[in-house]
Amino acid sequence: MPELSLVWLVGLTAAAFVAGFISSIAGAGGMIVLPCLLWAGVPPVQALATNKCQSVFGTLSSALNFLRKGHLQLRPLRWALLYALIGAVIGTLWVQRVDAALLEAVLPYVLIVLAGYFAVSPRIADLDKPPRLRASVFDPLVGGGLGLYGGAFGPGMGSFSAAAFAGLRGFNMRKATASTKPLVLVANASSLVIFIAGGHVLWALALSMAVAQFAGARLGSNLVIRRGAALVKPVIVLTTLAIAVRLVLKNG
């Protein structure tokens, strides 16, 4: 493990708490933690692996909280989860063999459109709407697609998933946000297994950050349950635009 000062360890743990809080509402916690890990001098592969490890705990925390409080039902998601698992494995293997530059170039503009959809769509609300897509079509298309994207790239996966559940399945924002968590968890856990097999996780740092992620995600998911669309809409819009800007600057 790279030598990190106490200041860096505390700082990275604090960043994990903030990331868990934001990610439980809008996804994209990795866009906070990963740059911090790289800034601290953690090598890129180990940074990716350690980020994936600690983020799994945050997603698990919010998923369990939504489940315990009755806002998440796993049985209707079982096929979407299976397709997400398959997609994540394919995506993780695929990204190791191709250049992701095209995806990085296009993604910011897709995220800007997504932010606009969240800002103006009447389907992003606290009430359920009629579904536009049957589960038998939604599960392989969206579940598999999100898994593939999460395994290959990942930024904004939670936002894409929430938009899909709200726009295509008609879920209210509490339910849509809750339903993203198992999909993100499956996709990230699948990638993590591959990183663990390669021995890339910095376990001492990852576990310290995981505890902070878990706590931050619990706090954020409680706020989603209490505030619903009034909280989720602006946070997702701002977070999605922030990701888009960061990617544009990175590619510029």
Number of compact structural domains in the chain? 1
Q: Would you say residue 243 lies in a domain?
A: yes
**Per-residue model confidence (pLDDT) at position 218:** 93
User: Could you give the CA distance from residue 125 to residue 120 in angstroms, rounded to a whole number?
Assistant: 11
Q: Is there a domain that residue 181 lies in?
A: yes
Residue count of the chain: 252
| Domain with 233 in it | 6-251
In a domain, 123, yes or no: yes
- What is residue 25's predicted lDDT score, i.e. its pLDDT? 79
Q: Which of 34, 134, 151 is CA-nearest to residue 90? A: 151
Angle between helices 101-120 and 157-169 (to 10 degrees): 50
Which residues of the chain fall below pLDDT 50?
A: none
Tokens representing 54?
Answer: 């600690």
CB burial readout 58-78, b (16+ within 10 A) else e: bbbbbbbbbeeeebbeeeebe
Is residue 48 domain-resident? Answer: yes
CA distance 85 to 191: 10
Q: Name which of 192, 198, 197, 183 is nearest 87 in CA terms.
A: 183
Whole-number pLDDT of residue 1: 55
Q: Is residue 98 part of a domain?
A: yes
The pLDDT score that the predictor gives to residue 104 is 65
Among the listed residues 108, 196, 197, 199, the one whose alpha carbon sits nearest the alpha carbon of residue 153? 108
From the list 63, 54, 61, the residue with the least C-alpha distance to 15 is 54
1 domain residue, yes or no: no
SS3 for 122?
coil
At 98 the pLDDT is 63
